[in-house]
Structure 1
Amino acid sequence: MTFDPALPGAPSLPAGLVQRTLTEEDAADWIRALHTGFVRPPTPSPEEVAVRLPHFDLARTRGVFDAGRCVATFRSFAQEVTAVGGAPVTATAVTNVSVSATHRRRGLLSRMMEAEFAEARERGDVLATLIAAEYPIYGRFGFGPAAWYTQWKVDLRRAALDPRWSGPEDGGRIDLVDGEALRKLGPEVYEAARAARHGMVSRCTRDWERRTGWNLVPDDTWREPFHATYRAASGAVEGYVTYAADEGWDDGNQPLLTLTVRDLVAATPAAERALWRYVCAIDWVTFVKSGHRAPDDLLPMLLPDPRAARVVTHSDMLWVRVLDVIRALEARTYGTAGSLVLDVRDAGGIAGGRYRLDAAPEGASCARTAQAADLTLDVAELGALYLGDESVERLVALGRVEESAPGAAARADALFRAARRAWCPDIF
């Protein structure tokens, strides 16, 4: 048996299995394998293949084949991630990862991940990102959970909001729009918000089509939502919300509707406050589910009684794998001025080494060094720290970071931690 040099201990593919990128003729079989891995009805319709195929970059879509039949899937696409301070960082976004139950524990994912990382480095990508369906899988590939989300359910009967609210008090206005209008207005708002909030990722035209019911996969379950925009007194659209509501009535024939926010993005605090106030003031709505929000979202504290907002979900969201330590650390800003020597361990052989970081609120420089390390950590822990959402001292207490210089963890926290929590609203 031979071994994968990028992932020690991972066997190379068994005889008869072939890893390769796709041709158009592979698409239906690859989608079938993807459905199989996610335990969905396996056979794709010709219409589904026709809708999905144009959005695949076949050179970045790979599979493992056994006697010509696809048994594992993997796809990536170009992405930008907003770093702390607002700079966009290039990333390879990993998605559609599956291995059929008949072919588990044979190194299929390891080989596909190895090939992706090699190509990403050639492209010059700084990070790799993904949304993990299962927590335990991706740490061994160097990914760390860098942004988390919280979902609240607000009981409007307890919220103590003014029932007379009829619109923003700042001269702005809320307008209902259709999906076509949101496809035109939404991207500019989103880009303005993304430039200011670390953790947000770029969206392509296809993302906006799917959010507004355009060019859908035939088997997708789609219920048309409502879209509303916030327009400031200046006339500029500074935020939008997409939401839907179910039906519900109590025994006294009173409405008990639950409104679920699918997407709420604001480029200004005024827009964010107004949009939350709007969804909490719609007739017949008794409960509001917030959707995927940053753990420090404004919503609970906008309510006169914040206890009316109950946490129903809190979980990891965006996972980050650093591919280029120097460019990654130089792309973000820092909370204070200081220097730190990091010894980064990387079993994948990609980003390992010792680095000196000289950081300041305005920016940073980073270079390889032979100096003694202040902190020793795995590349996965560096990914968890990258967006300022994790505590170095907590990782030291957990035994995941080794502190060699007294006080280094506290200094690192002062450098790395951000004023707001990282937020990624998108599943990809």
Structure 2
Amino acid sequence: MSITVRPVGYDDQPAYTRLGAEAFGVPEGGRPVPTRAEWTAAGFREWGAFDGDELAARLRVYGFTSWFHGAQVSTAGVAGVAVEPERRGAGHVAPLFAAALAEAREGGETISTLFPSAPGIYRRLGYEVIGSFDDVDVPLQALARVPAATGIVTRRATVADFDAVVGVHREWAARQNGPVSRAEKPFWTPPEKFFADYTGVTLAVDEAGDVVGFASWVRGEGYTPATALMEVDDLVALTPDAARALWRTLGSFSTVVGTARVSTSGLDPAWLVLPDLTSRVHAAHPYMLRVLDVAGALGGVESPLEGARLPFAVRGTDDLAGAWTLTVADGVTHLERDAVELEDAHHERPVLTANGLALVYAGAQSPANLRIAGHLTGAPTHDAVLGAVFAGRQVHVRDYF
């Protein structure tokens, strides 16, 4: 087998489109090959593994920022991974990822994320599941029992409110780990298109006139509660009363719509105001993360643990393997690489796999659980600091790619 991995050019688009259609299905009539202008404007970074002149495997990289530890982190989002059926299992994915992630790292992207169809494939490459993007069905009759909001009114948003909507999302996202910032393509949407995509965007406004929440929704067809379904892309609230007001507004459709299908993740605080948990997960999409640059991702993180010192090591991948010491000074983390052989590191410091590093960085698992899962070995002396440095934020993701 002689495989060449290289960026995909426009002349490769017919094969690239065909392979994607076979992997992910196509609408009736097929998916058209993009024009050169469309392909250039999209700005995708596409890679292919070629067997001679034939495209055997492909992937796409989106460059964007996502929120971790209160900062926007440069992220390589991987999507559209596909291998020709006759060549599956032949080892094309690893070199394809190696090339794409090397380019991402050289471009300054410090983490990579993806939505897997089969997590086991990507675990071998250092990715680990940190959360899930879910579509959850909520009976609208249940929302009628949400207590009335105090000091909040709701109103329909217009294009003039776009900056306020963006501001609410940004304030919410900065308090989480994982959300896409929506500041770059393909997640940034022009105001006119954003509002055109929805039946309505409802705002929650406090007594000072500030927007403290919003819900974007598509009404859907029909007026029989047993069959009618509305879709809610975002329900973001910065206060409990904003959440109550938005839920009650959706619930006001209960005489003609039976269910709201809400895009959410984790235990969002907006759901804590609901009187019960009468809901059902319609679809779950696990979200995986891989660290690309240890110093770039773990350095510069704000921390209240002034003076803390954390020696640790990473094993198992050539690009991440090594020993490090993290310190907290002037309210942020600093990293220095240590001249310690990995076989000796476990005597004095915790040793993480690449998967464990991803989980710790995202705050998705404790050191105790990482040891149970086999992703943390070595001396346990520093486990408490390891967990504390990156704790304090929930993992949430609200944009699928």
What amino acid is the match of 1:227? V
| Structure 2 runs not aligned, ≥5 long | none
User: 1:186-239 deviations in whole A, cap 9, x for unaligned?
Assistant: 44443343333321123235435499868xxxxxxx985432233444444443
Cα distance in 1 between the residues matched to 2:283 and 2:301: 26
CA 1:143–1:351: 2 relative to 1, 3 Å: same
Larger CA deviation: 190-199 vs 70-79: 190-199
Preserved contact between residue 352 and residue 376 of structure 2 (Cα < 8 Å): yes
Cα distance in 2 between the residues matched to 1:184 and 1:87: 20
Displacement after TM superposition at 1:344 (Å): 0.3
**Aligned mate of 2:376, from 401, 404, 410:** 401
Is 1:207 matched up with 2:187? yes
Is 1:426 matched up with 2:393? no
Equivalent position SS for 1:351? coil
Displacement after TM superposition at 1:262 (Å): 1.6
User: 1:29-59 deviations in whole A, cap 9, x for unaligned?
Assistant: 312211112233695325x54685144436x
CA 1:238–1:405: 2 relative to 1, 3 Å: closer
| Structure 1 runs not aligned, ≥5 long | 1-13, 215-221
Preserved contact between residue 137 and residue 281 of structure 2 (Cα < 8 Å): yes
Cα distance in 1 between the residues matched to 2:32 and 2:134: 36
Preserved contact between residue 355 and residue 375 of structure 2 (Cα < 8 Å): no
User: 1:129-167 deviations in whole A, cap 9, x for unaligned?
Assistant: 22222211111111122233455433344456269x5xx
Pairs within 5 Å for 1:10-409: 14-15=1-2, 17-40=3-26, 43-45=30-32, 48-49=34-35, 52-57=38-43, 60-84=45-69, 86-149=70-133, 151-158=135-142, 161=145, 169-177=150-158, 186-203=165-182, 204-209=184-189, 225-246=199-220, 257-266=228-237, 271-284=242-255, 285-293=257-265, 295-303=266-274, 305-307=275-277, 309-312=278-281, 317-334=286-303, 336-337=305-306, 338-347=308-317, 349-359=318-328, 362-369=331-338, 370=340, 372-406=347-381, 408-409=382-383
Cα distance in 2 between the residues matched to 1:351 and 1:149: 27
Cα distance in 2 between the residues matched to 1:73 and 1:125: 20
Preserved contact between residue 150 and residue 292 of structure 1 (Cα < 8 Å): yes
Equivalent position SS for 1:301? helix
TM-score (norm 1): 0.79
Preserved contact between residue 333 and residue 360 of structure 1 (Cα < 8 Å): no
Preserved contact between residue 182 and residue 227 of structure 1 (Cα < 8 Å): no
Preserved contact between residue 198 and residue 216 of structure 2 (Cα < 8 Å): no
Preserved contact between residue 261 and residue 290 of structure 1 (Cα < 8 Å): yes
What amino acid is the match of 1:291? S
Count the aligned residue pairs.
Answer: 390
Equivalent position SS for 2:75? strand
User: 1:282-301 deviations in whole A, cap 9, x for unaligned?
Assistant: 342333333222x2212442
TM-score (norm 2): 0.83
Cα distance in 2 between the residues matched to 1:232 and 1:54: 44
Cα distance in 1 between the residues matched to 2:162 and 2:91: 41
Cα distance in 2 between the residues matched to 1:151 and 1:368: 42
Cα distance in 2 between the residues matched to 1:112 and 1:226: 42
CA 1:213–1:96: 2 relative to 1, 3 Å: farther
User: 1:331-386 deviations in whole A, cap 9, x for unaligned?
Assistant: 32346453222110132x11110111224793212212237542111111111121
Equivalent position SS for 2:370? helix
Cα distance in 2 between the residues matched to 1:414 and 1:67: 50
Q: What's the RMSD between the two structures over aligned residues? A: 3.3
Larger CA deviation: 95-104 vs 66-75: 66-75
CA 1:149–1:246: 2 relative to 1, 3 Å: same
Cα distance in 1 between the residues matched to 2:20 and 2:64: 22
CA 1:315–1:356: 2 relative to 1, 3 Å: farther
Cα distance in 2 between the residues matched to 1:280 and 1:345: 51
Cα distance in 2 between the residues matched to 1:196 and 1:162: 25
Cα distance in 1 between the residues matched to 2:7 and 2:286: 28
Equivalent position SS for 2:104? helix
Preserved contact between residue 182 and residue 212 of structure 1 (Cα < 8 Å): no
Cα distance in 2 between the residues matched to 1:256 and 1:57: 40
Cα distance in 2 between the residues matched to 1:240 and 1:361: 36
